[in-house]
Copies of this chain bind each other. A is one copy, B any other.
Amino acid sequence: MSPALIPNYELAGKQVVIIDVLRATSSICVAFETGVDKILPVSTPEECMLFKDFDFLCAAERNAIKLTGFDMGNSPFEFKHPLLKGKSIAFTTTNGTKAIKMSRSAGAEQIIIGSLLNVDAVVSYLISQHNDIVLVCSGWKDKVNLEDTLCAGAIASALNDHVETNCDATLMAMHLFKGMETNLEFYIRQSSHALRFKALHQAEDDVAFCSKLNTVNVLPVMQGEYIRNIQLNKPA
C-alpha cells in the first residue's frame, strides 16, 4: 500500500507490479499505446534533463506540477501526441519512479507497469507466468492512497481464481474495489490526490481519464534500464 512498506515483503524472484494511477503508470500506458519506443525512469529532474542530449524527450513532474523546461509533465494527455511514436522518453515523477527503483533494489524478478487502464493485459500476463506476485502501490510521499489501492484491488480480484493471498492489504484492496468498482471515478475524486489537483486547478480531466478500466491494451515491463511494451498485439 506504500513504498515505505516494501521492506516488509520478499520481492526477490517475484513479479512486481508498480501502480501509480494518478498519474505515472497511467501516462506510461498511454505513451506505449501512442507507440513510444522506450521509457527511462530516472530519479531526479536534473538526471532527466541530461538525457536531452541523447535524443530523449524529457518528462518531469513534482507535487502534481509539470516542471519548467521539460517537454512533458505527468498528464496522460501529453503522452497521446502522434509525434511521440518511436521516441524515447526520460521520465521522473514524485512517487512512481521511486517505487520502481525500490522494487529493483529489492531484487524483483520482473517489474510490470500497472494502472486501471491496462488491468486485463497485466492480469492475463501474470496468469501465464505462474510466478509469485507482489503489487506495489506508489502512494503519495509514502502515505497510502485510495486510487492505487483500488487498482491493486482490481488486479487482485481478477487474479483471485488463480492465486492465493496471505496478505490483509490484498484482502482490503479487493473489498474496496468490489465496493467501488461501479463508480471508480466518483470515489477517486474523493481521494486526497484528486483534492490536491482540484486545489491546484490541475489535472482534473486526468482523474476521469485515469479512473477508467481497460481502455488501453499495453503491457509495459522493465527490460534492463528501460520500460518497453511487450504486449504481443500492440498497436501497429
Spell out A's residues near B (CB within 8 Å): 1-2, 4-5, 7-9, 140-146, 149, 166-169, 171-172, 175-176, 179-180, 190-193, 195
Given A1-B1, A179-B179: A144 in contact with B172 (beta carbons within 8 A): yes
Distance, CA A175 to CA B195, complexed state (A): 18
In the complex the two chains form, is A5's CB within 8 Å of B2's CB?
yes
Contact partners of A168 in chain B: CB under 8 A:
140, 143-146, 149, 191-193
Cβ-defined partner of A167 (8 Å) among B2, B9, B143, B166: B143
How many monomers of this protein are in the complex? Answer: 2
Instruction: Assess whether B142 is in contact with A171, with CB atoms less than 8 Å apart.
Output: no
Question: How far, in Å, is A159 (CB) from chain B's closest CB?
Answer: 17
Interface centre among A4, A191, A193 (most CB of B within 10 A): A4
By the criterion CB–CB under 8 Å, are A172 and B192 in contact? Answer: no
Interface on chain A toward B: helix, strand, loop, or mixed SS? helix
Q: Within the complex, what minimum Cβ distance (angstroms) separates A134 from chain B?
A: 12
What residue of chain B has the Cβ atom nearest to residue A2's Cβ?
B5
Q: Which residues of B contact A1 (CB under 8 A)?
A: 1, 144
B166 touching A192, Cβ below 8 Å? yes
Residue from A144, A167, A171, A180 with most neighbouring chain B CB atoms (10 Å): A144
State how many angstroms separate the Cβ of A174 from the closest Cβ of chain B: 11
| Chain B residue with Cβ nearest A173 | B172
Q: Is the CB of A192 within 8 A of B167?
A: yes
In the docked arrangement, what's the CA distance between A4 and B166, Å?
19
A172: contacting residue among B140, B166, B176, CB under 8 A:
B176
B149 and A172 within 8 A (CB)? yes
Q: How far is the CA of A143 from the CA of B170 in the complex (A)?
A: 11
Which single residue of chain B is at the shortest CB-CB distance from A147? B168
Chain B residues whose C-beta falls within 8 Å of the C-beta of A145 in the assembled complex: 168
Output the nearest chain B residue to A142 by Cβ-Cβ distance.
B8
Complex Cα distance, B149 from A31, in Å, reads 37
A-B contact pairs, 23 of them (CB 8 A): A2-B5, A4-B5, A5-B5, A5-B142, A5-B143, A7-B142, A8-B141, A140-B168, A143-B167, A143-B168, A144-B169, A149-B168, A149-B172, A166-B192, A166-B195, A167-B192, A168-B192, A168-B193, A171-B190, A171-B191, A172-B176, A175-B176, A179-B179
